[in-house]
Amino acid sequence: MIKFYDCQPAPSPRRVRIFIAEKGLLDKIEIVQVDLRGGQHFTPEFARINPHCTVPALELDDGTCISESIACCRYLEAAFPEPPLMGRNAKEAGVIAMWEHRCEWDGFIGGAEMLRNTAPGMKDRGLTGPISFEQIPALAERGRKRIAWVHDFLDKRLAESEFVGADIYSVADITALIAIDFAKRQKIAIPESHKNLQRWCDQISARPSSKV
């Protein structure tokens, strides 16, 4: 059985957890909770699974480890193609990948810049992984601006499309939701003027997979 190394409160593994739920695989994959607050990801035991000391990670039956959220999703899409979450044809796959990357790069990474460069508990943890990096407070302000930009371009996109990447729910919607919810946890809400984004967020948040 495939093992999925998770941490329930963390946004990165939540992306994969939602993907797993949408694929109907929650009862076919063993979910292992990793205590990030307690530093379990830095133990020698976990480092043997994932030397980058991060979650999420998938451990396959043959011992292969796949880390990084989008890499985990790519494996699951190839291994379990139904329902398709990364596109039904070449054009759709490319457009979905474009939107997914943009939501991750500005939305999710923007939120990470804010959190990791301001939170007292993340002193010397400016970046994930086994190497320590000092906090840079100026990056937090840049992160805030990046999130505002994501709110703007998603509201415009969702004025013309029911979903972020295509006319079907996809991994782009998953990453966008993670980014929006991550920003909310840092007290950056969707602006009241962004009605299209709020409509989409309410719709996506109501899906059973968004609650796992």
Report whether pLDDT(89) > 70. yes
**Mean pLDDT computed over every residue of the chain:** 93
Is 40 found in the same domain as 9?
yes
Is 75 found in the same domain as 26?
yes
Condensed to tens digits (0 to 9), the pLDDT of residues 2-11 reads 999 999 989 9
**Number of domains into which the chain is organized:** 2
Is 101 found in the same domain as 54?
no
The C-alpha angle with vertex 50 and arms to 44 and 56, in degrees rounded to 5, equals 125
Nearest Cα neighbor of 2 from 19, 22, 27, 23 is 27
Is 143 found in the same domain as 180?
yes
Higher confidence at residue 127 or residue 148? 148
Determine the average pLDDT of the residues in 133-140. 83
- Give me the percent of the chain exceeding a pLDDT of 90: 83
Say which range, 33-47, 117-131, 142-156, has the weakest mean pLDDT.
Answer: 117-131
Is 199 found in the same domain as 95?
yes
Report whether pLDDT(49) > 90. yes
Query: Where is the domain boundary, 48, 79, 110?
Result: 79
- Give me the percent of the chain exceeding a pLDDT of 70: 98
Global confidence as pTM: 0.93
Determine the average pLDDT of the residues in 7-26. 97
Contact 87, 170 (CB under 8 A): yes
What is residue 114's predicted lDDT score, i.e. its pLDDT? 82
Determine the average pLDDT of the residues in 48-70. 95
Condensed to tens digits (0 to 9), the pLDDT of residues 171-196 reads 999 999 999 999 999 899 999 999 99
Is 97 found in the same domain as 10?
no
Q: How far apart are CA 154 and CA 210, in angstroms?
A: 19
**Residue 124 domain-assigned?**
yes
Query: Where is the domain boundary, 60, 79, 98?
Result: 79
Is 55 found in the same domain as 126?
no
Is 168 found in the same domain as 201?
yes
Higher confidence at residue 208 or residue 113? 208
Beta strands in 7-157 (DSSP E): 29-33, 57-59, 65-67
Is 112 found in the same domain as 37?
no
Report whether pLDDT(127) > 70. no
Is 7 found in the same domain as 97?
no
**Residue 167 domain-assigned?**
yes
**Residue 122 domain-assigned?**
yes
Determine the average pLDDT of the residues in 118-131. 72
What is residue 126's predicted lDDT score, i.e. its pLDDT? 60
Is 110 found in the same domain as 20?
no
Determine the average pLDDT of the residues in 87-105. 97
Is 126 found in the same domain as 199?
yes
Domain containing 140 equals 90-211
